[in-house]
Amino acid sequence: MGTIRFNIEKFDGVTNFNLLQVWMMAILVQTSLKKEVLMEKTSSALWKMLETLFVTKSLVNHLVL
């Protein structure tokens, strides 16, 4: 899987939050993660799921963790 990078500004309280939500949903749809993200109930469960999908399973990473 190649690396995909998206540039989205941090939410600063001034930017329209609805627009930020639309951008994030578009990114989730493009990366085909929308279904997985919407199924998780808690943020910790979501992070665990994303970790299992995207963390490199190399020996170096296991030693660091």
pLDDT of residue 60 exceeding 80, the answer is no
- Residue-wise pLDDT tens digits, 7-51: 777 778 777 788 888 888 888 888 777 777 778 888 888 888 878
Give the DSSP letter string of the chain: --------PPP-SSS-HHHHHHHHHHHHHHTT-HHHHHH--SHHHHHHHHHHHHS---HHHHHH-
Q: What is the pTM of this model?
A: 0.52
pLDDT of residue 61 exceeding 80, the answer is no
Residue, of 60 and 23, whose pLDDT is higher: 23
Residue 37 pLDDT:
78
Quick one: tokens of 55? 């963390």
Residue 32 pLDDT:
78
